[in-house]
Amino acid sequence: MPTRDVDHYIADAEAQGLKIRHVFLTHFHADFVAGHLELRDRVGAEIHLGASATTQYAATGMHDNDVLAFGNVRLVTLETPGHTPESMCILSYDLEQSDSTPQAVLTGGTLFIGDVGRPDLGASIGWTADDLASLLYDSLHTKLLPNVPDEAPSYFSYDAEMNTRERPTLEQSLGEGLVALSLMETLARRDAGAQTARHT
């Protein structure tokens, strides 16, 4: 699930001598903008979503146990409805280590540290919290728990630390750019804005 500013993904890939061919959107978001379309347009990547997703752009629907393999890596998708109906998780195998045990799982909005994804955000598309919570319970118990070994790290989508790492501009603004302004400076900003409004 990429952030919308995609330069750093492209730079990271280039630094490793890699090309981005596939973008996985683990789920839809109501509250912020993902960068899958930007990555598609910039590098021609194919977009992957949970199979139940309906989109206005071309995307490959991923079912349970669909496989994408390249080099020594195998990615296996699991449909895990709950946080959203089309949520999915991705098992990541390092075939040099093992072809039967995943080394990591990408849990999107389904599973966090000490918490699970919120099932109560689907009202606008007709899902009750009870229905989504029931789906989430089943996804956790029938998809994730049986397939992910305890020692495999989980990487989820939202996290303050990850957010900071992914957004160096934000980190910079928090560390340096956010300055204390005097009352005079603050008023100047307000009044400059008020003038603009009057003149439009």
4 binds another protein (CB under 8 A): yes
**What tokens were used for 185?**
């400076």
Compose the 30-69 pattern: x for residues touching another protein by CB under 8 A, - for all others: -xxx------------------------------------
161 binds another protein (CB under 8 A): no
124 binds another protein (CB under 8 A): no
Residue 146 burial (CB count, 10 A): 7
Window contacting another protein (CB under 8 A); options: 18-26, 64-72, 93-101, 166-174? 166-174
Among 37, 51, 152, 170, binds another protein (CB under 8 A): 170
Window contacting another protein (CB under 8 A); options: 12-20, 28-36, 85-93, 135-143? 28-36
Residue 10 burial (CB count, 10 A): 15
113 binds another protein (CB under 8 A): no
Cα separation, 32 vs 10, in Å, equals: 21
* 3-state class (DSSP) for residue 60: strand
200 binds another protein (CB under 8 A): yes
Among 113, 160, 161, 176, binds another protein (CB under 8 A): 160
Cα separation, 178 vs 156, in Å, equals: 28
Compute the Cα dihedral for 155, 27, 48, 6 and give only its sign: negative
Minimum distance from CB of 195 to another protein (Å)? 8
Alpha-carbon distance values, 194 to 176, 181, 190 (Å):
28, 18, 6
